[in-house]
Amino acid sequence: MAKKNYWHGYLEAGKKSSPVLRDLNLETGSDDTIYLYSLNRDRILEYQIAIVESKLRELREDEADLVSSLNKSYTKAKKDFTPRGSLPLKQVEITPQASGDKEPDLSDLDDDDIDDDLDTDLDISIDDDD
C-alpha cells in the first residue's frame, strides 16, 4: 500500500476552527493557495496561504485520536472532489469537415481576374539604365 503524504493539524479561525488534513500530493495549480480538508465542514477547501498559514498548528497529543477520523473522512470526501484545474470541459459537438481529397471548382474564375490580381500584388519597377 502506498504511503500517505498527509499533514494533520488544526485551523484556528474562530467559529470556522476545525481539525484539518493537507494532502501534500494534491496541488491547486497556484503557488498562492493550498487545499485543506476540514473535518467540521466535511469538505476539501482552497485557502490563500498568506491568510491561513498563521492560523494552522500541529495537532496536540490530546488530539491524536483525530488522525484516523481525518484520514477516513478525507478519503470519502476526495472521491467527490474535483480540483479547480481539473474541472470538466463543456462538451461541444464537432461538425465533420469535408475531406481535402476533392479538387476545388475553379471553373468560374477568369484568367484576366487572376492576372489583374497578380499585377496589383507585385510592385516591380524596371530600370533600362544598364
Taking only the tens place, the pLDDT of each residue in 55-101 is 999 999 999 999 999 999 999 999 989 887 655 555 556 666 666 66
What is the chain's mean pLDDT, rounded? 81
Give whole-number Cα distances, 108 to 31, 102, 114, 119, in Å.
60, 17, 12, 20
- CA 75 from centre of chain: 22
* 6, pLDDT greater than 70: yes
Whole-model pTM? 0.63
Stated as kind and residue range, the H or E segment containing 49 is: helix 49-52
Phi/psi-derived region of residue 120, left when phi > 0, alpha when psi is between -120 and 50, beta in every other case: alpha
Q: Per DSSP, what are the bridge partners of residue 45? A: 36
Q: Provide the pLDDT for residue 108.
A: 67
